């Protein structure tokens, strides 16, 4: 037992490629492989209801990851995410004729273009100012959709027909999960690469980053674009998954929900985003009978996390892991 523990020594990183590696050693490889396989196979045996929740979690975690790259890594507080989410959803709804995958891609690209435009104020504003400015984008988007029947499909809302072979819940789940894994690998790569380091430098001190030769404006816009691309793809996928759109799905409350997901999951951690998304969705399902109490749970969670554990659920997980890795000592 002790020798088994001793074998698991910490490998020191010797170059940047080591830092890019997601799977550091054999136990981690086994753990990852088993969990990915479980995620793919398990839903074949459980009820449709649970698949429904899982799909929601998976789609949501893509959006939360996008937001985390913007808020957690670049340090730009944005409440405009629900706007990008909505842009993705409506673009997919209107371009589904092209087929599902091109439509999802188009949703992401459109959201990224919108994100680049919304990101422009971030060159002058920071902190709460930027939060309010992006909130303004959310409000404007909501008003635009609500007042334009050509986009929103009028009073009845917009129905989306399922095209292409994917229509059973399990197939849809597999599609979302594959996309989710793809995006998580990509997000991890971005965060660990040169770009990600520049994002963190901008977050920690904009002036210092600029004095070291970083083109701050370019990377801020880039961060907005990446983030809104993720969110747009997730929004498109969500629209296809729900099959029905109406403007009230994109109001400010939704923005706060998405925001609480990253705060609870852990600001500035890739896998924390998935934990946060899972927390938000699962809590909603647990308290489905007591609908009024859901926001209270989130509110208490946000306050506790911010005051006592600023790294969120992911920070807890790391601490737990470290505790068991050097068990007798602490």
Partner 1 sequence: MDYLIAGIQVGFIYALVSLGIVLVYRATRILNFAHPDFATFGIFIAIDILDKYGDKSAWVYILAGGAGAILSACVSFIIYFFIIYEGQKRGVSPLGLTIVTIGIAYFFQSLEIIIWGADPKAVPHFVSGKFSLMGIELTWHFAVIVVVSLTIMFILYLLIMKTRLGIALRAISQNLDASRTLGINVRFVVGFAFFLSSLASGIAGILIAPVYSVDQFFLFDPFLKAFIGAVIGGLDSPPGAIIGSLIVGITESLFGGYVSIKYKTAFIFFIGLIFLGIRPEGIFGKEIKERV
Is there binding between residue 263 and partner 1 (CB under 8 A)?
A: yes
316 forms part of the interface with partner 1 (CB under 8 A): no
Binding residue (CB under 8 A) for partner 1 from 14, 47, 97, 128: 128
CB of 63 to partner 1, least distance (A): 18
Query: Would you say the C-alpha torsion 109, 112, 116, 118 has a positive or negative sign?
Result: positive
Cβ atoms within 10 Å of 303's Cβ, excluding its own: 11
State yes or no: residue 286 binds partner 1 (CB under 8 A).
no
Could you say which residues in the range 161-200 bind partner 1, by CB under 8 A? none
- Please identify, using beta-carbon distances, which residue of 4 and 288 lies nearer to partner 1: 288
Listed in sequence order, the residues at least 6 apart from 57 whose beta carbon sits closer than 8 Å to its beta carbon are 274, 277, 278, 281, 282
Q: Is 214 left (phi over 0), alpha (psi -120 to 50) or beta?
A: beta
CB 199 → partner 1: shortest distance, Å? 16
Closest separation between CB of residue 324 and partner 1, Å? 26
> Is residue 41 at the binding interface for partner 1, with CB under 8 A as the rule?
no
H or E segment to which residue 229 belongs: helix 216-242
Q: For residue 140, state whether it binds partner 1 (rule: CB under 8 A).
A: yes
Report how far residue 115's alpha carbon sits from residue 231's, in angstroms, rounded to the nearest whole number.
Answer: 10
Q: How far is CA 93 from the centre of its chain?
A: 21
Closest C-alpha to 71, from 280, 272, 279, 305:
272
Could you say whether residue 132 binds partner 1 (CB under 8 A)? yes
Q: Among 107, 114, 133, 274, which residue interacts with partner 1 (rule: CB under 8 A)?
A: 133
Closest CA to 225 of 44, 66, 98, 25: 66
Angle between helices 270-286 and 48-68 (to 10 degrees): 140
Residue 259 beta carbon to partner 1: minimum distance, rounded to whole angstroms: 7
What residues between 196 and 225 interact with partner 1 by CB under 8 A?
Answer: 205-208, 211
Verify binding: residue 7, partner 1, rule CB under 8 A. Answer: no
Q: How buried is residue 86: exposed, middle or buried, by Cβ count under 10 Å (0-12/13-18/19+)? A: buried
Q: Which is nearer to partner 1, 27 or 127 (CB)?
A: 127
| Length of the chain in terms of residues written | 330
* 156 or 306: CB nearest partner 1: 306
| Stretch of residues binding partner 1 (CB under 8 A), selected from 21-29, 156-164, 238-246, 299-307 | 299-307
Is 303 near partner 1 (CB under 8 A)?
yes
Q: Which chain residues interact with partner 1 by CB under 8 A?
A: 77, 121, 124-125, 127-129, 131-133, 135-137, 139-140, 143-144, 147, 205-208, 211, 252, 256, 259-260, 263, 292-296, 298-303, 306-308, 310
């Amino acid at each position: 037992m002790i020798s088994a523990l001793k074998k698991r020594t910490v490998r020191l990183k010797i170059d940047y490629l080591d830092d890019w590696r997601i799977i550091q050693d054999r136990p981690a490889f086994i753990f990852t492989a088993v969990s990915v396989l479980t995620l793919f196979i398990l839903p074949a045996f459980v009820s449709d209801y649970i698949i429904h929740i899982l799909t929601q979690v998976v789609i949501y975690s893509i959006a939360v990851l996008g937001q985390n790259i913007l808020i957690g890594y670049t340090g730009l507080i944005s409440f405009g995410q629900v706007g990008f989410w909505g842009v993705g959803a409506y673009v997919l709804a209107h371009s589904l004729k092209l087929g599902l995958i091109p439509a999802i891609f188009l949703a992401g690209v459109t959201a990224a273009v919108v994100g680049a435009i919304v990101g422009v104020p971030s060159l002058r504003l920071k902190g709460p100012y930027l939060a309010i400015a992006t909130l303004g984008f959310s409000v404007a988007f909501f008003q635009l959709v609500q007042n334009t029947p050509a986009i929103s499909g009028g009073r009845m809302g917009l129905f989306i027909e399922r095209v292409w072979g994917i229509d059973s819940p399990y197939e849809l789940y597999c599609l979302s999960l594959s996309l989710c894994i793809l995006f998580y690998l990509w997000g991890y790569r971005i965060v660990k690469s040169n770009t990600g380091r520049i994002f963190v430098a901008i977050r920690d001190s904009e002036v210092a980053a600029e004095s070291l030769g970083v083109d701050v404006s370019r990377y801020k816009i880039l961060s907005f674009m990446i983030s809104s691309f993720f969110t747009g793809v997730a929004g498109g996928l969500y629209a296809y998954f729900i099959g029905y759109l109406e403007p009230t799905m994109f109001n400010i409350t939704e923005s706060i929900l998405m925001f609480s997901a990253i705060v609870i999951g852990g600001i500035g951690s890739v896998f924390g985003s998935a934990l946060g998304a899972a927390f938000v969705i699962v809590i909603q399902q647990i308290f489905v009978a007591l609908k009024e109490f859901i926001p209270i749970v989130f509110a208490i969670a946000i306050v506790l996390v911010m005051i006592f554990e600023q790294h969120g659920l992911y920070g807890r997980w790391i601490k737990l892991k470290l505790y068991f890795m050097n068990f007798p000592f602490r």
